[in-house]
C-alpha cells in the first residue's frame, strides 16, 4: 500500500471515530473537551500549511485565533447573533490582519521571521487587553451562543460538536487541495530552495504571503468556534504561549503530513489534561516527553507510524 493511501486511511479512521464519539453515551464533558481539541486542531492544521509545507515558523498564530474569537464575540455582544455572519467576520478580520502584517513578515526569514510574528501577535494581545468596553483583561462573557439559520440549534453541545467537526474536515480538505496544487508545489520548493524558485520566475514572497493569509483565515474560523463553544472570549487566547503550543502540535504530530497536525493536537491537549490531573508538576513530565519525541521519533507521530508500517 502506498504511503499516500495509508495516510488517508488513517485520517479517515480518525475522523470516523470523531463522528461516532457523541453517539456512544460518553459524559458531556468528554464531548465538550473533544470539541475544544478539534477547534484547536484546526489551528494546528492551518499552521502546518506555513510551517510544514512553507518552512515558516510562526509564533503569532494565536493572534488570528483570538481575532476570530473577538470578532464573533463582539458581534454577539452587539446583538448580531447569526453564526454565518460571525464566521465570515472572524475569518475576514484574521485574514486582513495577516495580510497587513504578513506583507512585512514574509520579507524576513529564519529567526527574524519568528520574532516579527511574535511581535505582531503580542500587538494583538495588548490591543485585546485594552478593549475595556468588551471586558479588557478580564475577557468578554457571551450570554448566548450564535443562532443557526434563526434557531438556537447551537445551544446543543452535540450540534456544535458536529459543526466543529465539519469545519475541521473542511480545513483538512482546503489544506490538502492547496498543497496538492501547483501553488503548493511552489510553496514546498520555496521552502527548500527559494533562490532557485525565484530564478524560475516565481514571486516567493507573494506565495508565502497568500499561504500565511489562508492559514490565518482558518485560525479565525477556529476562533469563532471556540467563542461559541466556551461562551467566553479572552486575551489569553492570543498569548504567545498558545502559538508555541500550536508549533508543538505540528512538530509532535509530524510537520507536512496529511494527518500529523490533527494527531499532534489530540496528543498534546490530552496529555496536558491527563498529566495535570496526575500532578501539579505535569509540565516537567510533558517537557521530558517532548524531548524524547524530538530525539527518537524523526518526523513525529506520523513519521513513526510510517516507519512501523513499512
Q: Flag whether pLDDT at 41 surpasses 80.
A: yes
Q: What is the pLDDT of residue 26?
A: 83
Alpha carbon 126 to chain centroid distance?
21
What mean pLDDT comes out for the span 139-149? 90
Give the contacts of 50 (CB within 8 A, at least 6 positions apart).
56, 58, 208, 211, 212, 215
Q: Which three cell numbers stand for residue 236?
A: 489569553
Task: Please give the residue that has the higher pLDDT: either 256 or 165.
Answer: 165
Residue corresponding to grid cell 485594552: 130
Tell me which residue of 8, 49, 93 sits closest to 256, measured CA to CA. Answer: 49
pLDDT digit string, tens, across residues 121-135: 999 999 999 998 998
Burial 191-204 (b: 16+ CB within 10 A, else e): beebeebeeeebeb
- Residue 82's φ and ψ, nearest 5 degrees, are -65, 130
Tell me which residue of 85, 87, 86, 90 sits closest to 63, measured CA to CA. Answer: 90
What mean pLDDT comes out for the span 161-188? 95
Average pLDDT of the chain, as a whole number: 91
Of 40-49, 151-160, 212-221, the one with minimum mean pLDDT is 151-160
pLDDT confidence of 52, banded at 50, 70, 90? very high
Give the contacts of 26 (CB within 8 A, at least 6 positions apart).
none
Q: Flag whether pLDDT at 6 surpasses 90.
A: no
Q: What is the pLDDT of residue 1?
A: 64
pLDDT digit string, tens, across residues 58-69: 999 999 999 999
Q: Flag whether pLDDT at 303 surpasses 90.
A: no
DSSP-based three-state secondary structure for 147:
strand
Task: Please give the residue that has the higher pLDDT: either 260 or 167.
Answer: 167
Q: What is the pLDDT of residue 207?
A: 95
Q: Which three cell numbers stand for residue 18?
A: 470523531
Cα gap 27→23, rounded to integer Å: 11
Instruction: Say which DSSP state 130 is in.
Output: T
What mean pLDDT comes out for the span 157-180? 95
Neighbours of 281 (CB within 10 A): 10
What mean pLDDT comes out for the span 18-23? 93
Is 128:238 a contact under the CB 8 Å cutoff? yes
pLDDT digit string, tens, across residues 191-246: 989 999 999 999 999 999 999 999 999 999 999 999 999 999 999 999 999 999 99
Amino acid at each position: 500500500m502506498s504511503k499516500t493511501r495509508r495516510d488517508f486511511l488513517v485520517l479517515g479512521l480518525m475522523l470516523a471515530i470523531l463522528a461516532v464519539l457523541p453517539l456512544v453515551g460518553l459524559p458531556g464533558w468528554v464531548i465538550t473537551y473533544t470539541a475544544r481539541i478539534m477547534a484547536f486542531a484546526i489551528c494546528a492544521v492551518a499552521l502546518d500549511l506555513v510551517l510544514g509545507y512553507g518552512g515558516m515558523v510562526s509564533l503569532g498564530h494565536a493572534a488570528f485565533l483570538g481575532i476570530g474569537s473577538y470578532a464573533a464575540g463582539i458581534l454577539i455582544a452587539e446583538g448580531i447573533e447569526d453564526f454565518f455572519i460571525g464566521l465570515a467576520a472572524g475569518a475576514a478580520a484574521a485574514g486582513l490582519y495577516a495580510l497587513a502584517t504578513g506583507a512585512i513578515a514574509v520579507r524576513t526569514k529564519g529567526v527574524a521571521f519568528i520574532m516579527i510574528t511574535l511581535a505582531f501577535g503580542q500587538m494583538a494581545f495588548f490591543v485585546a487587553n485594552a478593549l475595556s468596553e468588551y471586558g479588557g483583561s478580564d475577557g468578554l462573557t457571551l450570554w448566548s451562543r450564535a443562532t443557526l439559520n434563526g434557531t438556537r440549534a447551537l445551544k446543543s453541545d452535540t450540534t456544535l460538536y458536529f459543526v466543529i467537526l465539519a469545519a475541521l474536515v473542511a480545513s483538512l480538505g482546503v489544506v490538502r487541495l492547496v498543497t496538492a496544487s501547483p501553488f503548493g508545489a511552489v510553496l514546498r520548493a520555496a521552502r527548500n530552495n527559494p533562490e532557485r524558485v525565484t530564478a524560475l520566475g516565481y514571486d516567493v514572497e507573494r506565495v508565502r504571503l497568500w499561504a500565511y493569509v489562508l492559514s490565518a483565515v482558518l485560525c479565525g474560523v477556529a476562533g469563532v468556534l471556540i467563542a461559541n463553544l466556551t461562551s467566553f472570549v479572552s486575551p489569553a487566547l492570543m498569548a504567545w504561549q498558545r502559538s508555541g503550543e500550536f508549533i508543538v502540535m505540528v512538530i509532535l504530530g509530524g510537520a507536512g503530513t496529511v494527518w500529523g497536525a490533527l494527531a499532534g493536537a489530540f496528543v498534546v491537549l490530552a496529555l496536558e489534561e491527563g498529566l495535570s490531573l496526575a500532578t501539579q508538576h505535569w509540565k516537567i513530565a510533558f517537557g521530558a516527553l517532548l524531548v524524547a519525541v524530538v530525539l527518537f521519533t524523526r518526523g513525529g507521530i506520523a513519521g513513526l507510524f510510517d516507519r512501523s508500517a513499512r
